[in-house]
Structure 1
Amino acid sequence: MESGADDFASKTILNELTDYANANPEKDIDVNGFYSSLGLFGSKDEILHAAEFIMSNLENRDEQVIIYGYSQGGANAIELSDYLGKLGIAVNLLITVDAYDALTESSGFEISDNTVDNFNFYQLESDAVTGARGWPNSSRGKSTRVHNKFKKDTDHSSIDEKTTNDVLRLIYNKIE
């Protein structure tokens, strides 16, 4: 799980999934969160740490990998998915919420072929302070399904909370 800023929705999702994993030890679910940086002063170490966490917890390449990210965390989650693809690791579910790369001031990303499904929740109103906003994603190849979900009546600072139940439902449906 790749988190955006230290936000309520990411904490809620992490806590819910941790509780679920603890209540269902037979499912062998590993949950972790990583703070997102811009990489202004070198590499984005959290992407490497997240990849190391995933690789160290995969017992075989057939196990599911699910990644979530909001805002800069969404952009970093996409970068993590790309990196895992170079290592030959599939991402079964990539959930991005208003993914925005603040360093390049960009949104609307191409999702790599190693990702099976990307559910991308976005809104189009630029944040008054940061300019952050989402955009539809696209697929690099035919094997990746991108599901762009435009959310009405929200903005960048509230879309994460307004999509928390959607995100949890997608994750639970994938791991059930």
Structure 2
Amino acid sequence: MFEDTVELAENKLLLLYILNKIKLPISNNHITQIILENNFINYFTLQQYLTELVSSSFIKDIDNSGNHRFMITEKGAKVLSLFENRLSNSKIDTIDNYLKNHIENIKKEVAVTANYTIEDKDNYIVNLKALENDSILIDIKINVGSNKQAKDLCQKWKSNSSELYNKIINLLIT
């Protein structure tokens, strides 16, 4: 019983450590990827821990136009600073190395968003956005006539936002 409680506390501290280290609001998918690629916690337990951390106000779930992101709260950072020494050095080293190798991709994905909403049967609003250091570089809303067009625009923006951004800026300036 005691061993389960220690493991539970360490796993929640690990999640707080990751969010504190990244210093950006990140999606459930990113947290899940980090945890599963390093074999720390199984998927279902991870989702339970995230829910519990949100309900205890150690992390917050930020809803930005349907894009949910998790971020450590001041309360969570305080708890982490008090109990960080309970995390094993091997887990800290694993996370630090993982983040060192993947942080640029995580930041890139956090900064570029693409989503769409259905207005009515043949009317979709696509929202394409690029952020840099929490400043909006571009935020475009486009009305398209099909689900396929909406999905295609989102995919193109996510895979090639930098080049598309430059083309749009050049078209508007020249």
Q: Structure 1 length as normaliser, TM-score? A: 0.25
Instruction: Pick the structure with more helix per residue.
Output: 2
Instruction: Pick the structure with more strand per residue.
Output: 2
Q: Structure 2 length as normaliser, TM-score? A: 0.25
Q: Which has the higher contact order (CA 8 A, sep 6+)?
A: 1
Q: Greater Rg, structure 1 or structure 2?
A: 2
